[in-house]
Amino acid sequence: MSETSEDSGAPAPGSRRPGGRTARTRTAVRDAVLTGLTEHGYPALTVEYVAEHSGVHKTTLYRRWGGVEGMVADALDLAGEDAWTPPDTGSLAGDLRALAREVVEGFSDPAHAAAPTAFVGAAFQSPRAADALRSFYAERFRRCEEVVTRAMDRGEAPAATDAGAVVRAVSAPLFLRLFVTREPVDESVADQAADAALAAVNAGVFGRRTERPGQASAPGAAVGTSAAGS
Amino acid sequence: MSETSEDSGAPAPGSRRPGGRTARTRTAVRDAVLTGLTEHGYPALTVEYVAEHSGVHKTTLYRRWGGVEGMVADALDLAGEDAWTPPDTGSLAGDLRALAREVVEGFSDPAHAAAPTAFVGAAFQSPRAADALRSFYAERFRRCEEVVTRAMDRGEAPAATDAGAVVRAVSAPLFLRLFVTREPVDESVADQAADAALAAVNAGVFGRRTERPGQASAPGAAVGTSAAGS
């Protein structure tokens, strides 16, 4: 997760964040991108649309973001700059359920769900949006890992638990239903996802792989063990 | 999963499947849709493109499929008509790993991965593609449930295990990485997903919910317990 202004292809030597004119322009563009994405989808999003809805001139948009792909990627980068931290309920079981329920709550409100859904959809069309989405989730899951590292500190989880894999396991059944199988999710599915991940933690399934009994040892690096890992 | 010809809006009174001219037309259109989706994506797919690449006249395409959405949905319906059955290795642990590895293998070949990825992407743009995708995965997971019901018959899994939730749990961490976080998957991630689901089965997490100890009982129906359930 490097400096976002670099990812968006902006030269931005004079970007005075937060609060300057450049920051205001960036949020205006972000808002227009979100409106366009959620109302019309990525394929219908144009520089003209963003110019009209942000009040920022087309030449500025082209100069600073290069085009639609850059603006979508930057909107995602901006979304990743929030101060969100994972829940801290005092137990791993509680934290994992709280994480899963946050996902369900976030997507039960269509107005709330529209933007993240549009970003996931845009990534199928735009390589730059896909890169930005990957960065966004890498950072988001990195923050989530804290609930697992705290649990390890408390002795609630095996010492070498792969925190990145655990927090992905909690969200995965929800994201599967939201974005792939398009089935409804509710608190019951959230709790089940959290409890399943917890059971796997307790069974030692998320131990960082060096060697594992049974079955041929898998080739290649362990993906769940992200480079940004704790 | 009803008769596909109905879903595609086709009157098809004279459709002589398999092998007739109508079936050949349908496969030619499906092939053109797949080529278009994988090479240009859903937003660029047009009736003109399909006509050109399938050799089927535009008026026939409009009459039989209504338009691009109908053709994409029908291509998905056709994909769901294969004879695929889940692996049968003799144990639940083996079957779940084999299921997960099939997903990873399928997506490690870019040529193989292109069509399913394009379908998942198209569902973000087209409500009819989304419906067809939902049907496709409902049927696919329904077939997968067999590995869990066999395990219950062998006494390897608790009698009231929610088979639909288990098989979704196996695929979910892989689909999360493939379609949302866009991280790589490999056999090691596949095995971990399978082993995590197995641990949760053994811990009774996938017991069909009536009442569950601790935590407030979740409102609403259990989503994992699909209507098509075993």
CB contact under 8 A, B200 and A195: yes
B26 is in which domain, residue-wise? 4-79
Arithmetic mean of pLDDT, A142-167: 97
User: Residue A161 phi/psi, 5° resolution?
Assistant: -65, 135
CB contact under 8 A, B188 and A223: yes
Mean pLDDT value across chain A = 85
Q: Is A11 within a domain?
A: no
* pLDDT tens-digit map of B50-72: 999 999 999 999 999 999 999 99
Task: Specify the DSSP class assigned to residue B157.
Answer: S
Q: What is the pLDDT of residue A227?
A: 33
Q: Which residues from chain A sit within 8 angstroms of residue B223, using beta carbons? A: 177, 183-186, 188-189
Q: What is the pLDDT of residue B215?
A: 41
- Closest by Cβ to B168, choosing from A118, A137, A176: A176
Q: What is the pLDDT of residue A209?
A: 56
Do B97 and B173 share a domain, yes or no?
yes
Report which of A61, A55, A58, A63 is spatially closest to residue A75, judged by C-alpha positions. A61
Do B96 and B196 share a domain, yes or no?
yes
Do B65 and B108 share a domain, yes or no?
no
CB contact under 8 A, B187 and A97: no
Do B61 and B101 share a domain, yes or no?
no
Q: What is the pLDDT of residue A85?
A: 96
How far apart CA A138 and CA A151 sit, in angstroms, is 21
- Closest by Cβ to A215, choosing from B97, B182, B219: B97
Token pair for residue A144?
């989530």
Q: How confident is the model at residue B110 (pLDDT cuts 50, 70, 90)?
A: confident
Whose tokens are 């563009």? That residue is A29
Query: Which residue, of A79, A110, A125, is where some domain finishes?
Result: A79
Q: CATH code at A54?
A: 1.10.10.60
Of the residues B182, B185, B210, B212, the best mutation for testing chain A's interface (the one with the most A CB atoms within 10 Å of its CB) is B182
Query: How buried is residue A63: exposed, middle or buried, by Cβ count under 10 Å (0-12/13-18/19+)?
Result: exposed
- Closest by Cβ to B224, choosing from A130, A137, A192: A192
- Closest by Cβ to A218, choosing from B176, B177, B186: B186
Identity at B184, one-letter amino acid code: P
Identity at B143, one-letter amino acid code: R
Comparing A187 with B226, which gets the higher pLDDT?
Answer: A187
Q: Worst-scoring range by mean pLDDT, A4-18, A61-75, B92-106?
A: A4-18
CB contact under 8 A, A176 and B177: no
Q: How far is CA B174 from the centre of its chain?
A: 14
Token pair for residue A143?
């923050």
Q: CATH code at B114?
A: 1.10.357.10
Instruction: Inform me whether the pLDDT recorded for B88 exceeds 50.
Output: yes
Q: Which residues from chain B sit within 8 angstroms of residue A125, using beta carbons? A: 41, 43, 121
Question: Please, which residues 167-196 of chain A have a Cβ atom closer than 8 Å to chain B?
Answer: 168-169, 171-173, 175-177, 179-189, 191-193, 195-196
Instruction: Inform me whether the pLDDT recorded for B112 exceeds 60.
Output: yes
Residue of A nearest to B140 (CA): A181
Arithmetic mean of pLDDT, A43-58: 95
Bond preceding residue A43 cis, omega within 30 of 0? no
* pLDDT tens-digit map of A174-196: 999 999 999 999 999 999 999 99
CB contact under 8 A, A124 and B97: no
How far apart CA B50 and CA B56 sit, in angstroms, is 8
Do B100 and B65 share a domain, yes or no?
no
* pLDDT tens-digit map of A203-230: 999 997 554 444 433 333 333 333 333 3
Whose tokens are 């946050």? That residue is A102
Query: How buried is residue B57: exposed, middle or buried, by Cβ count under 10 Å (0-12/13-18/19+)?
Result: exposed
Report the C-alpha dihedral over residues A178, B103, B139, B36, rounded to 10 degrees.
Answer: 80
Q: What is the pLDDT of residue A161?
A: 97
Instruction: Inform me whether the pLDDT recorded for B100 exceeds 70.
Output: yes
Q: Angle at CA A78, nearest 5°, toward A72 and A83?
A: 150
Q: Is A226 within a domain?
A: no
Arithmetic mean of pLDDT, B138-148: 98
